[in-house]
């Protein structure tokens, strides 16, 4: 159960450097940045009252990216995590092929009992320029 001392961290790992790029805490801005067309693995870590929060059956964490927080803006990226996937999702090169610029993202926990928590408030998501494109595999 989420308590008053809940801490949320979001870790994004570069597939090149395998290091933590950004860390955010609950209700604090946690800016994320990705090079256009790159893969971005994301791990959400929830610590509630000193204990790791484990997703229960029916709990869903949703990571969403839109141009702005306007309710009428289209969802550009949306990934869900549940008990089966764990607290992990991955943005694919197709997901991150957005025009360069600043967007907004948030992370929401919907618990099986109907409670909903925005665990990372709307924050900046930046798609940066790329130089290498269309490399044959």
Predicted confidence (pLDDT) per residue in 32-41, tens digit: 889 999 988 8
Domain-embedded: residue 137: no
User: Which has more pLDDT, 76 or 18?
Assistant: 76
Cβ pair 32, 10 in contact under 8 A? yes
Domain-embedded: residue 134: no
User: Which has more pLDDT, 96 or 47?
Assistant: 96
The answer, yes or no, to whether residue 5 has pLDDT greater than 50, is no
Question: pTM value?
Answer: 0.79
| CATH code, 100 | 2.70.50.30
Would you state the pLDDT for residue 58? 94
Among candidate residues 124, 118, 128, 68, the one with its CA nearest the CA of residue 96: 128
The answer, yes or no, to whether residue 13 has pLDDT greater than 50, is no
Question: Token match 């090149």: residue?
Answer: 16
Residue numbers of the domain that contains 40: 7-128
Confidence of residue 71 (pLDDT cuts 50, 70, 90): very high
- Give the C-alpha separation, 135 to 119, whole Å: 37
């Amino acid at each position: 159960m989420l308590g008053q001392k809940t801490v949320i961290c979001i870790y994004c790992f570069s597939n090149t450097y395998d290091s933590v790029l950004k860390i955010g805490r609950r209700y604090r801005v946690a800016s994320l940045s990705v090079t256009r067309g790159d893969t971005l693995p994301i791990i959400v870590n929830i610590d509630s009252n000193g204990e790791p929060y484990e997703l229960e059956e029916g709990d869903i964490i949703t990571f969403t990216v839109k141009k702005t927080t306007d309710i009428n803006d289209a969802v550009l990226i949306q990934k869900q995590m549940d008990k089966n996937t764990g607290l992990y999702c991955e943005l694919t090169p197709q997901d991150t092929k957005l025009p360069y610029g600043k967007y907004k993202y948030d992370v929401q926990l919907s618990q099986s009992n109907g409670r909903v928590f925005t665990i990372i408030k709307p924050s900046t998501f930046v798609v940066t320029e790329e130089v290498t494109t269309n490399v044959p595999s």
